């Protein structure tokens, strides 16, 4: 372990095999807390390479509780977090809007570490019962169109990191890895990234898969389509820039996307939007993210999918998905 740390401190890169072995040791608790913090620090000072990312992911996926839900053409809408913007939970609201159109959503998430409130905080607050039982998740997808994979119960080996990440309170390499370790490996993903360097690494990784995806980055640092500026997008077809005008929307100012001070406030914002009581800016941002997710699933136009997303929210279908999910 000392040799590995020394090499990392000398700004040397790990091979895919070395990276995989490093994380295997971490998951087996063969690395102490001080060494863990050192590793996290290294990867906060530089991004992991493609080979390192592949090795880390392989170790994490081999150790997790996986579920087979491949009969569903589902999507995960997720961001890396760690952008420091303190927005409300945009991707979580977008998931319910997408499910309200009749599509299937398998969201993988966690409690907030680098943000005040993660998707798990909100769903727990609302009374959702986390489960890793495949049949229960399949039943939720079949009857509701949405299920939630709470990361800690699928990646129990990572509990060694939870306290350290919470104490640090900043983004770590696990923000980068989180979107890659959905235990169901859904066929589709809308992935928001807070920096272009990481976006390119994701793009190189996803090119080696059969997954259908869009990797998005708002150029002012948001890990979602914020409508505060233009976005860079990577898909299987290549790289594209989108302006706010391309979406036919108006520009939003950052203050309009701010989240609350705690889980209670963020849950209230979440429910207000789903109940049709969100502000214009809040509605527009969740709708455009849901629109983009729908366009991954059905290849329809931005305009048509925006109308589908808007109907899901305004008709109350998105909120009905949540109510039905909580009643199962």
Residues 137-151 have pLDDT tens digits of: 999 999 999 999 999
Question: In this structure, are 27 and 122 located in the same domain?
Answer: no
Residue 313: pLDDT over 80: yes
Question: In this structure, are 47 and 85 located in the same domain?
Answer: no
- At 150, which helix (H) or strand (E)? strand 146-150
Tokens of 32: 């102490």
Question: In this structure, are 251 and 160 located in the same domain?
Answer: yes
Q: Are 285 and 257 in contact (CB under 8 A)?
A: yes
The residue from 12, 30, 63 where one domain ends is 63
The pLDDT of 60-70, averaged and rounded, is: 94
Q: Is residue 69 part of a domain?
A: no
User: Would you place residue 63 in the very low, low, confident or very high pLDDT band (cuts 50, 70, 90)?
Assistant: very high
Q: Is residue 207 part of a domain?
A: yes
Residues in the chain: 328
Distance in angstroms (rounded) separating the CA atoms of residues 214 and 327: 32
- How many domains are contained in the chain? 2
Q: Is residue 317 part of a domain?
A: yes
**What is the greatest pairwise CA distance in the chain?**
59
C-alpha distances in Å from residue 251, one per residue of 226, 254, 307, 309: 9, 10, 19, 19
The pLDDT of 37-57, averaged and rounded, is: 92
CATH code for position 35: 1.20.970.10
- Residue 152, judged by CB atoms within 10 A of its CB (0-12, 13-18, 19+), counts as middle
Residue 20: pLDDT over 90: yes
CATH code for position 170: 3.40.1030.10
- At 77, which helix (H) or strand (E)? strand 74-79
The pLDDT of 265-274, averaged and rounded, is: 97
- At 191, which helix (H) or strand (E)? strand 188-192
C-beta atoms surrounding 184 within 10 Å: 21
List the one residue out of 16, 29, 26, 53 whose CA is nearest residue 202.
Answer: 53
pTM of the model: 0.92
User: 309-324 burial string, b = 16+ CB within 10 Å, else e?
Assistant: bbebbeeebbbbbbee
User: Would you place residue 113 in the very low, low, confident or very high pLDDT band (cuts 50, 70, 90)?
Assistant: low
Of 12-21, 74-83, 124-133, 261-270, where does mean pLDDT reach its minimum?
Answer: 74-83
User: Would you place residue 163 in the very low, low, confident or very high pLDDT band (cuts 50, 70, 90)?
Assistant: confident
Distance in angstroms (rounded) separating the CA atoms of residues 263 and 68: 31
pLDDT at 162: 72
Question: In this structure, are 124 and 257 located in the same domain?
Answer: yes
The residue from 63, 86, 103 where one domain ends is 63
Q: Are 79 and 225 in contact (CB under 8 A)?
A: no
Query: Which one-letter DSSP state was computed for residue 277?
Result: -
Range of the domain at 44: 2-63
Question: In this structure, are 310 and 272 located in the same domain?
Answer: yes
At 49 the three-state DSSP class reads: coil
C-alpha distances in Å from residue 318, one per residue of 110, 265, 270, 304: 21, 20, 12, 17
Distance in angstroms (rounded) separating the CA atoms of residues 11 and 5: 10
Query: Which one-letter DSSP state was computed for residue 260?
Result: -
Q: Name residue 189's beta-bridge partners.
A: 76, 213
Look at the block and give the residue holding tokens 């900043």: 170
Tokens of 18: 């070395």
Q: What percent of the chain has pLDDT over 70?
A: 98
Residue 188: pLDDT over 80: yes
């Amino acid at each position: 372990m000392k040799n590995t740390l020394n090499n990392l401190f000398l700004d040397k890169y790990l091979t895919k095999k070395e990276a995989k072995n490093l994380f295997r040791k971490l998951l087996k608790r063969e690395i102490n807390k001080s060494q863990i913090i050192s590793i996290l620090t290294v990867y906060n000072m530089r991004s992991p390479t493609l080979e390192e990312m592949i090795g880390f992911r392989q170790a994490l996926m081999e150790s997790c509780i996986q579920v087979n839900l491949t009969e569903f053409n589902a999507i995960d809408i997720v961001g890396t977090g760690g952008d420091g913007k303190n927005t409300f939970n945009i991707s979580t609201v977008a998931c319910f809007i997408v499910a309200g159109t009749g599509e299937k959503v398998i969201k993988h998430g966690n409690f907030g570490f680098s943000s005040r409130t993660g998707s798990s905080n909100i769903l727990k607050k609302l009374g959702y019962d986390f489960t890793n039982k495949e049949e229960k998740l399949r039943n939720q997808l079949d009857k509701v169109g949405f299920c939630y994979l709470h990361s800690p119960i699928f990646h129990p080996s990572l509990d060694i990191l939870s306290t350290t990440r919470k104490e640090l309170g900043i983004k770590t390499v696990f923000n980068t890895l989180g979107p890659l370790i959905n235990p169901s490996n859904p066929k589709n993903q809308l992935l928001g990234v807070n920096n272009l360097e990481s976006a390119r690494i994701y793009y190189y990784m996803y090119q080696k898969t059969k997954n259908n995806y869009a990797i998005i980055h708002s150029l002012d640092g948001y890990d979602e389509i914020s409508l505060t500026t233009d976005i860079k997008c990577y898909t299987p077809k290549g790289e594209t820039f989108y302006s706010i005008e391309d979406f036919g929307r108006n520009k939003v100012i950052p203050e309009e996307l701010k989240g609350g001070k705690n889980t209670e406030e963020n849950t209230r914002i979440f429910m207000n939007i789903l109940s049709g009581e969100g502000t214009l800016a809040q509605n527009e941002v969740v709708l455009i993210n849901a629109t983009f997710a729908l366009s991954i699933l059905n290849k329809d136009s931005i305009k048509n999918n925006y109308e589908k997303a808007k109907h899901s929210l305004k008709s109350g279908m998105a909120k009905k998905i949540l109510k039905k999910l909580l009643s199962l």
